[in-house]
Every structure is written in C-alpha cells, then in structure tokens.
Chains A and B, each alone.
Chain A
Amino acid sequence: GQQVMQIPQYQHVQEGEDFTTYCNSSTTLSNIQWYKQRPGGHPVFLIQLVKSGEVKKQKRLTFQFGEAKKNSSLHITATQTTDVGTYFCAGRGYQKVTFGTGTKLQVIP
C-alpha cells in the first residue's frame, strides 16, 4: 500500500532559525495536504497542493509540491515559539487519506 514518510522525525531549532520538513510518497499523489497538530490537540489543516511543481506561501510558511508529485516540503522562515507542534503531510484520495509519519518541531526561545 501507499507509504508516506517524513524527515526529519524531530527538529529542535533556536527561535528565529529556519525549519524544513520533507515528505516522500512511495506512489504518485493526486494532491498533498499539510496539517499542524499542537501538543494535546488535533490536526488542523494548513494547505492543499494539487499541481506538479506548485509553490504556495502563507506568511512565513512556504509549501512545495514536487514535479513528479511524489514529494513535498514545508519551509518555515524565522521560526517562532507559536510554530511548535507536529507537522504532517497527507495524500488525499477520493475515499482515503494517507498521513505521513510527521515531523515534531521544538522551538527554543
């Protein structure tokens, strides 16, 4: 079945440093979604990408979908303590969603 891996599993950064998480799928994805889950909370939707090579920005967050639609990345510029949480990518199909393994971000003030 489809597998979606993310690296790194954990990342500790100093506040103000940049952060990137990478998502890799074993199969081609029709789209990729990104979610953020705060400690003790539930996943919250950030964005969806559908086109090959697509790049979208949300303030300090930049999302990219690979040309082959098998990988994606999330880059955060100048991290803040409010960025703490686990970031998941997910491949959304018509009736099934496969979440990645997640990257847990810790920001040191």
Chain B
Amino acid sequence: GAGVSQSPRYKVAKRGQDVALRCDPISGHVSLFWYQQALGQGPEFLTYFQNEAQLDKSGLPSDRFFAERPEGSVSTLKIQRTQQEDSAVYLCASSPFFTSGSSYNEQFFGPGTRLTVL
C-alpha cells in the first residue's frame, strides 16, 4: 500500500520567500506530525494534528511557521519570509490513533522535503 508522501522533495528558496510543503499521510491515519531535522541532528517536533485539529504547535520556531490540515488528511506546512536558519529537512509522519499503553503506536515517516534557503 501507499506510504506517506511529501512534496516537493527538494525546495530552494531565496531568503524572504514564502514556501509551502505538502504531506499526504497514510489513508485513515488520525495522527499527523511535522518535524524539522537539521543536518546531523535528530528530528525536532514542530506540531501535531489529530484529524483536522491542531492539538500541539509548541514546537513551531516562530510565527512565520504555520501548519494546517483542513480536512483531516493532507497537511501543509507553510513558512513565511524564509530565513537561512530554516534550511533543514522537514519530515511528516502519520500514525493510527494513539493509544496510551499500547505497544503499537508506530509513526510512518515520509521521505521528507529538503529546504535550502539562500
């Protein structure tokens, strides 16, 4: 079956430009996460959606970052007025509804979008 897909895979932006990154999660997955991964670092949590509700956006670095999932499936991460420090791989992950205590809360990651801001 289809996994998580992300587009574009690579994006080069000039400083100050706005960018939009798309995530298509696995069909039926309730949970959707966005992460930022800098080179040589672990994924850093940005935001979490349960269906269309954005329940946690505590990881968004600034108000230039905005995420939405209007119909509870596809999600878009938008970065306004990009800065050089925004250069990173942006990962999207989806999973079935989280059940506390369950041994099965696997996150399925997409291939990521590598953003380079010049």
Contact = CB atoms under 8 A, between A and B. Distances in A.
Given A42-B110, A42-B111, A97 B45 contact: yes
Given A33-B105, A48-B106, A92-B105, A102 B42 contact: yes
B65 interface: no
Interface residues of A, number: 22
B58 A96 contact: yes
Given A92-B98, A95-B56, A99-B43, A42 B106 contact: no
Interface residues of B, number: 29
Contact of B43 (A43, A48, A50, A96): A43
Contacts of A102: 41-42
Interface string A73-109: 0000000000000001000101111111110000000
Interface of A: 30-31, 33, 41-45, 48-50, 88, 92, 94-102
